[in-house]
Structure 1
Amino acid sequence: MICRRKLIDRTTHLQWFHLISVNLSAVDTGKRYIGHSVDSSQKSINNGNITTIDKMSLASNLACLVDESSPVDERKPMNRLELKRYLELRIKKRVKDQYKNGKFHDLIEKVIANPYTLQDAYDSMRVNSNVNLSSECDNINFTSLAEELASGKFDISSNVYSISSRRTNNEKLVLPNLKTNVIQEAIRIALEVVYRPHFSKISHGCRTGRGQSSALKYICKEIANPDWWFPLTLNKKIDMRILSKLISTMESKIEDPKLYSIIHSMFNAGVLNIEFGAFAKGHGLPQEGVLSPILINIYLDLFDHEILNLSMKYEVLDTSDDGQRDESKLRSWFRRQMGPTRNGGYTSGVRVHCCRLMDEILVLVNGSKEVSMALKSEIETYVQGSLYLDLDSKTNILRCNDPRGVKFTGKIIKRTVIESPAVRAVHKLKEKVELFALQKEEAWDEGMVRIGKKVLGHGFKKVKESEIKHLADYNSVLSRVSCFRKPGMLTDHWYKVLLKVWMQDITLKKHETEEHILSKLLTEKALPQDLKDSFYAFQNHVKRYVSSEAKSTVTLLPESTVSSESVYITEVSSPLKAIRMCLQRYGITNREGYPRACHTLVLLDHDHIIDWFHGIVTRWLRWYHLCDNFGEIKLLITEKVRKSCIRTLATKYRLHEFEIERKFDSDLSVLPSSDDYEIDSVNTIVESRDFYYDEGLLYGIPYSGLCLLSLARTVSKSRPCTCFVIGCRAAAPCVYTIHVMQRQKFPVWNTGFSSCIHLSMHGKRIGLCKQHLKDLFIGHISLQSICFDDWK
């Protein structure tokens, strides 16, 4: 502590080490020494001599030194994550006290139905809402709430509210009120304490240190040379059969009938909105609730253990005759325990890997396709028969080197080969030859089209000359067919009739363009045959070289150079096409892809308009910084998002774009340009990793999509409004309308915008203070932090 805080001088250092040595020697000799006080010891040391020791214990001396070195007033305030850890740690100690005989007992009565636990859960929700804990809070009597919960008198059905919309045929969306939210948060933290140590290593999502980034890193760096992969697409809403299976699973670790009764009550009230596949559709949805992530992880933990059993089965048993011996000592022990296989071997050469991000699952197999198909069949049988979940039957087994790749976590994952320098040199020469031939072909086509247009112009000139008697050539074909010209027909019309007759004569195909007609059917037919033969001979030589010469050159290289240095790597790509579609859907770009003003945001303040676009940047930097095409995301930010923000401000203030950039230069610095991109992007990513986005603590915030809000009205004294964010009692200056911009089918891309908000939320109005409007736009809070029943 002395070295860390650096608040004690060298003399105090010597005093402390002297006191420790004296007391330690007293312990060794069985004697009890009493040390100096701080002042007397300081005086003795300054004089160069250590005199007799006053009567004070070692603990008292060290306490004095700590008090002098680290005053309480100078302690650094805790950030959001530290506060969250501190609150959950207090509840964790209460949960651990209920562990007896291998199970946790009476969590509702002894832990959750405790005013201090409910207060900590409420404070945890306020931390998620980015509310200062010292500010004024909601009027909740935690003592009476704990008594109602312990006695079973708390009625879940009367503490929820529902919203509906005509767009969903009056389908109701049931959401918990504040008290139910507090109880759900307390239950969530208690379940996290029980199950967090038991989750499998293949499980990612809503866990500390195991989120989307860790899942992608595991697939890209820790899985070596898979042959086949296939995603598992779950799609099922929770029903009574799934709930019964979930509760029977939880009974193996928790013995508490009251807990299961409350979960049943939440399900019957419709507030337990768990839908498998919803996290793949869109994260951070208000209808999912805080309980859904932990319950999904608990339920799918059965799948995690089953896939581990299946992987051990396929890796240990010898299912092929041409397997190679695996040198793993652990697997060798398992094989010895199971005995030799039918052909005397002990290994199958098969490796099975699985990665699960909440309800998104990707299975990778190193082996034959037959093994992969058998494994997929067993997995589907278990998921449908034992977990009662539906699977997408269209999911196919793909080769890992398939250029289409596989969709996972809103990204495209592909396997590409890194070639050796010698092979790359051969392919580079081949690409140069292809490029040279392509340039010659384009020049040939352009020349043919140019000559064809000149021919048409020459023909039109001849038609005009035929109308002049002294210039007309009566022996030409044009003069012979002029008898078919109707009286009074204009020159242009007559020429079009001639072209139409000619086109009918050559029997054109529908897919041929005008350029193709001019070059292939008009110009080339009139060219000398030797010129055409020389050009097409050159093109044929290029094709033969590209197809055969490159392969033959590679075969001449040493085998070690070709095989040992050429390795496959896993690349992750962001869905640029889907991102561009979202930009168009939200009004940031037009149909041609050019940035435009987002008219829905025009009525907002200029700082909130910039915050909305800043939220796109921060989300994209957080989600796509591991993608190999991250440079194209940078171009979208600088060319689409930033320019759209500037044009939105220009529309609002009716100023030129250059004046807007000059006026809001400091505010627009959060939207990086191409010049200062490297520094800003790195700083933003580091900030997001270190502070805001721990998936295990800040539930729903890392995956909260960007919402589009428009100004509905300003608040007046006759119609007051407070902020709808949980725990915030600040006055809301404005009321905003939520716009549901898209309703995509499953599976969808996570692009930074809300991909699956319930349609009942469309048109609903919420009141937000300026700070929480900014937090919602930037991504510091999610829609789960908003209490929609405040209008009541």
Structure 2
Amino acid sequence: MICRRKFVKLTTHLQCFNLIPLNLSSGQRYVGHSVDSSLNSINNGNDTSIDKMSLASNLACLVEESSSVDERKPMNRLELKRFLELRIKKRVKDQFKDGKFHDLVEKVISNPYTLQDAYDSIRVNSKVNLASECDNINFDSLAKELASGKFDVNSNIYSISTRGANKEKLVLPNLKMSVIQEAIRIALEVVYRPHFSKISHGCRSGKGESSALKYICKEIVNPDWWFSLVLNKKIDTNILLKLISTMESKIEDPRLYSIIHSMFTAGILNMEFGGFAKGHGLPQEGVLSPILMNIYLDLFDREILNLSMKYEVLDTLKESQCDESRSESKLRSWFRRQMGPTQRNEGSMTGVRVHCCRLMDEILIVIKGSKEVTLALKSEIETYMQESLYLDIDSQTSISPSNDPRGVKFMGKIIKRTVRESPAVRAVHKLKEKVELFALQKEEAWDEGMVRIGKKVLGHGFKKVKESEIKHLADCNSVLSQVSRFRKPRMETDHWFKVLLKVWMQDTNLKKYDTEEYILSKLITEKALPQDLKDSFYTFQNHAKRYVSSETKSTATLLPESSISSELDYITEVCSPLKAIRLCLQRYGITNREGYPRACHMLVLLDHDHIIDWFHGIVNRWLRWYHLCDNFAEIKLIITETVRKSCIRTLATKYRLHESEIERKFDSDLSRLPTTEDYENNFVNEILESSYDEGLLYGIPYSGLCLLSLSRIVSESRPCKCFVIGCRAAAPCVYTIHVMQRHKFPVWKTGFSSCIHPSIHRRRIGLCKQHLKDLFIGHISLQSVSFDNWK
């Protein structure tokens, strides 16, 4: 007897390729329909052959009989998204003939089945159950409008403007326009996904940020120079015409290009080179931006391949005048590198090597060769970008040696080359760090003691001022008694003491010192200490500094005598931008100016579970983005020492309880924010298991956390529905969006939304509890929010 699971799997594949058609009439669901409904769909005009339907019906009957025993396992989010795209993929591939795809709008996009699948794809991105009630949209009439060419783009958009003097307008698509854009996006990805270059990463299945970092760290061997290209151009008529002419080589469909041109004219084709990496998943980017950007920049990918062949093979052959056998070997090795992974012995080979890695509109060029070759290649790339692709290049972009300790900015991180240390060198560094730490601890203890003594000195002086008011305790020979004659009548004791301190501070010019602690320790306490005690402390500190500097110099003697700086074993390190992260924590009110955690007052009015979800979203993003960084230990320290404590203090402010009581009361909920001991368990692995496919769920894996504050509670007199596309649930609360920052490209990846259009600032949206949690944690992005629901 044949296994039932095989029948289920086979029937699922038949459904994906429309061998079992599914009833998609308006307002009805297709998943799980019976064979009778499939037969009805054939009678209603489906073009599936009778032979295919007969086989599918027999198999479906067997599955239906066996499904009464146990239910089929439901598909998860990625599987459902892949299932929907496979259905459209089959329809697109049926239109391939004579080397091109023909009439995609008429035969595929204007199909109500395709529009239903595109709508469900949007709902999957919004994390909406497909079995729930859907929006009131008639796919049959929408398909007829597209097929007849009567669909009006301008009537299916809406705009929101900034409030205030500086007027900026953001144009966004409505639900029908979003469905059409999603259908076009899936169709274009089916056409172009197999033809993209291997150096292209971002918004592609299996080719995201992790694959780009893997290529940079493992495949690029011993580079000499590198630089990143900073693009700066918004789509204009020249770029659009160039894009359409590029697409005509693979797609023959004037109606498709007419729709794309109408979207550009209406202002909803928000494709900005140099602005895409500011923040993934923001509403102004649109779903068509990533695929169109990859199609357009694929021209650059092919040009850089030609330039690499020119510099690695052709120029080398002209200069080196080698024999025919050697030239064939060099050319053959170049083709092998382009066809497969880079060989690990590439570093021992001589000659020029050119590497390129592109993550959407972020481009990193790495060269192994002389500086003259690097400058010439950079000049040719900039000329091609400006004259052929009509893109502007930042003139301040400069090349830098790969061993520059500052590194290069790419993908929101710092990439730099460092020398691989031998075990002996690491041992010396470890001992040196211990001595530095011990000396620092002694210095901190000394400063704390000086401050404590200085406070006691001030207290003693205040006591003497009070004693001077008592006649039998007053000392006539003291300095205080001599200056007391300048005391004004009826002046309080506290006031008199402050006047004395003010006069002393003016006399010693203390304005140049920053803190009171420094004044107490250096100008009051240390001057009164015995000289022998001060000499012994500073002698110890000087000895520690000399030891550290001497050990640093002697480290070079442990290296092999034959090694020189150019032959050192370098490794590529990826570091997270800690300074930018700490600055964002201060900007969002998580830390104060000194960097200590504080309560985030804009979250106080939210429910306690949503407050924890907001901080949990920071942790999720950092663990997913930075777990491969070499300074991940410092990220873990920020999580445990700053984010977790700020969450506890926010809850303590909300409930007016002590922090220890908050930790006991919300112990189970706070377990989502890891402590130091949790990292020894599988906490990080549990977060990474819930990975996202960047090609299927665009914008969600790298969307930043936005700040929402409670605006009002929804009442019966002022009802509100959830603003997430496809969700029909009631929203119990209305929230206000706060735009905290707007950076220029390239920006650091800090965990927060780095660039939100200013027109969205202080906009109010209604969210149900589930989608508010999903937005905070990072399961959906702002692209899933429809901002025209108030209308």
TM-score bin, normalised by smaller chain: 0.7 to 0.9
Question: What is the match of residue 32 of structure 1?
Answer: none
Aligned AA (1:764): R
Bigger Rg, which one: 1
Partners of 1:419 and 1:566 within 8 A in 2: no
Q: How many angstroms does 1:714 deviate by?
A: 2.1
Aligned AA (2:399): I
Question: What is the match of residue 782 of structure 1?
Answer: 781
Q: Aligned partners of 1:670, 1:327: CA distance in 2, in Å?
A: 61
Aligned AA (1:724): F
Partners of 1:452 and 1:522 within 8 A in 2: no
Compared CA separation, residues 489 and 273, structure 1 to 2 (3 A):
same
Matches within 5 A, 1:476-515: none
Partners of 1:319 and 1:348 within 8 A in 2: no
Aligned AA (1:275): E
Aligned AA (1:602): V
Question: What is the match of residue 365 of structure 1?
Answer: 367
Matched, 1:750 2:727: no
Compared CA separation, residues 547 and 321, structure 1 to 2 (3 A):
farther
Matches within 5 A, 1:385-400: 385-400=387-402
Compared CA separation, residues 494 and 289, structure 1 to 2 (3 A):
closer
Q: Deviations over 1:221-272 (max 9, x none)?
A: 2211111111111111111111111111111111111111000100000111
Q: Aligned partners of 1:613, 1:366: CA distance in 2, in Å?
A: 44
Q: How many angstroms does 1:681 deviate by?
A: 3.0
Partners of 2:513 and 2:519 within 8 A in 1: no
Matched, 1:125 2:125: no
Q: How many angstroms does 1:502 deviate by?
A: 10
Question: What is the match of residue 33 of structure 1?
Answer: none
657-666 or 721-730, larger mean C-alpha shift: 657-666
Aligned AA (2:296): Y
Q: How many angstroms does 1:677 deviate by?
A: 2.9
Q: Aligned partners of 2:310, 2:293: CA distance in 1, in Å?
A: 26
Q: How many angstroms does 1:323 deviate by?
A: 12
Compared CA separation, residues 548 and 98, structure 1 to 2 (3 A):
same
Question: What is the match of residue 140 of structure 1?
Answer: 137
- Report sequence identity in percent: 77
Q: Aligned partners of 1:268, 1:628: CA distance in 2, in Å?
A: 46
Q: How many angstroms does 1:322 deviate by?
A: 9.5
Question: 272, 277, 282: which one pairs with 1:280?
Answer: 277
SS at structure 1 position matched to 2:677 = coil
SS at structure 1 position matched to 2:598 = coil
Compared CA separation, residues 451 and 65, structure 1 to 2 (3 A):
closer
SS at structure 1 position matched to 2:172 = strand
Question: What is the match of residue 763 of structure 2?
Answer: 764
Partners of 1:324 and 1:348 within 8 A in 2: no
Q: Aligned partners of 1:437, 1:612: CA distance in 2, in Å?
A: 40
Q: How many angstroms does 1:88 deviate by?
A: 0.5
Q: How many angstroms does 1:320 deviate by?
A: 10
Q: Aligned partners of 1:494, 1:177: CA distance in 2, in Å?
A: 69
Question: What is the match of residue 615 of structure 1?
Answer: 617
Q: How many angstroms does 1:586 deviate by?
A: 1.5
Matches within 5 A, 1:54-453: 73-167=70-164, 169-316=166-313, 317-318=315-316, 331-333=330-332, 349-425=351-427
SS at structure 2 position matched to 1:174 = strand
Q: Aligned partners of 1:552, 1:611: CA distance in 2, in Å?
A: 51
SS at structure 1 position matched to 2:358 = strand
Q: Aligned partners of 2:514, 2:676: CA distance in 1, in Å?
A: 41
Question: 637, 648, 651: which one pairs with 2:650?
Answer: 648
Q: How many angstroms does 1:124 deviate by?
A: 0.6
491-500 or 760-769, larger mean C-alpha shift: 491-500
Partners of 2:197 and 2:298 within 8 A in 1: yes
SS at structure 1 position matched to 2:228 = strand
Compared CA separation, residues 492 and 783, structure 1 to 2 (3 A):
closer
Q: How many angstroms does 1:306 deviate by?
A: 1.2
Matched, 1:638 2:626: no
245-254 or 431-440, larger mean C-alpha shift: 431-440
Q: How many angstroms does 1:203 deviate by?
A: 0.8
Partners of 2:309 and 2:334 within 8 A in 1: no
Aligned AA (2:77): R
Q: Deviations over 1:202-235 (max 9, x none)?
A: 1111011111111112111221111111111111
Question: What is the match of residue 17 of structure 1?
Answer: none
Partners of 2:224 and 2:369 within 8 A in 1: yes
Compared CA separation, residues 444 and 714, structure 1 to 2 (3 A):
closer
Compared CA separation, residues 778 and 370, structure 1 to 2 (3 A):
same
Partners of 2:700 and 2:780 within 8 A in 1: yes
SS at structure 2 position matched to 1:635 = helix
Matches within 5 A, 1:453-468: none
Q: How many angstroms does 1:617 deviate by?
A: 1.2
Partners of 2:162 and 2:759 within 8 A in 1: yes
Question: What is the match of residue 731 of structure 2?
Answer: 732
Partners of 2:4 and 2:66 within 8 A in 1: no
Q: Aligned partners of 1:273, 1:125: CA distance in 2, in Å?
A: 18
Aligned AA (1:112): I
Q: How many angstroms does 1:72 deviate by?
A: 8.1
Partners of 2:317 and 2:327 within 8 A in 1: no
Question: What is the match of residue 10 of structure 2?
Answer: none
Question: What is the match of residue 673 of structure 1?
Answer: 675
Q: Aligned partners of 1:306, 1:121: CA distance in 2, in Å?
A: 34
Compared CA separation, residues 332 and 517, structure 1 to 2 (3 A):
same
Aligned AA (1:294): I
Partners of 1:5 and 1:69 within 8 A in 2: no
Compared CA separation, residues 435 and 117, structure 1 to 2 (3 A):
closer
Aligned AA (1:318): T
Aligned AA (1:607): D
Partners of 1:638 and 1:672 within 8 A in 2: yes
Q: How many angstroms does 1:495 deviate by?
A: 11
Q: How many angstroms does 1:537 deviate by?
A: 11
Aligned AA (1:152): G
Aligned AA (1:171): E
Q: Aligned partners of 2:203, 2:499: CA distance in 1, in Å?
A: 74
Aligned AA (1:715): V
Question: What is the match of residue 662 of structure 1?
Answer: 664
Compared CA separation, residues 312 and 599, structure 1 to 2 (3 A):
same
SS at structure 2 position matched to 1:621 = helix
Q: Aligned partners of 1:107, 1:364: CA distance in 2, in Å?
A: 39
SS at structure 2 position matched to 1:700 = coil
Partners of 1:452 and 1:518 within 8 A in 2: no
Matches within 5 A, 1:541-690: 554-555=556-557, 558-559=560-561, 567-689=569-691
Compared CA separation, residues 540 and 759, structure 1 to 2 (3 A):
closer
Q: How many angstroms does 1:111 deviate by?
A: 0.8
Q: How many angstroms does 1:718 deviate by?
A: 2.4
After superposition, the CA RMSD in angstroms is: 4.8
Q: Aligned partners of 2:783, 2:502: CA distance in 1, in Å?
A: 69
SS at structure 2 position matched to 1:741 = coil
Q: How many angstroms does 1:314 deviate by?
A: 1.4
Question: What is the match of residue 462 of structure 1?
Answer: none
SS at structure 2 position matched to 1:175 = strand
Partners of 2:454 and 2:521 within 8 A in 1: no
List runs of 5+ in structure 1 lacking aligned partners.
Answer: 8-57, 337-346, 457-469, 473-477
Q: How many angstroms does 1:427 deviate by?
A: 5.5
Q: Aligned partners of 1:665, 1:544: CA distance in 2, in Å?
A: 48
TM-score w.r.t. the length of structure 2 is 0.78
Q: Aligned partners of 2:239, 2:98: CA distance in 1, in Å?
A: 28
Partners of 2:723 and 2:789 within 8 A in 1: yes
SS at structure 1 position matched to 2:189 = helix
Aligned AA (1:78): M
Q: Aligned partners of 1:537, 1:758: CA distance in 2, in Å?
A: 58
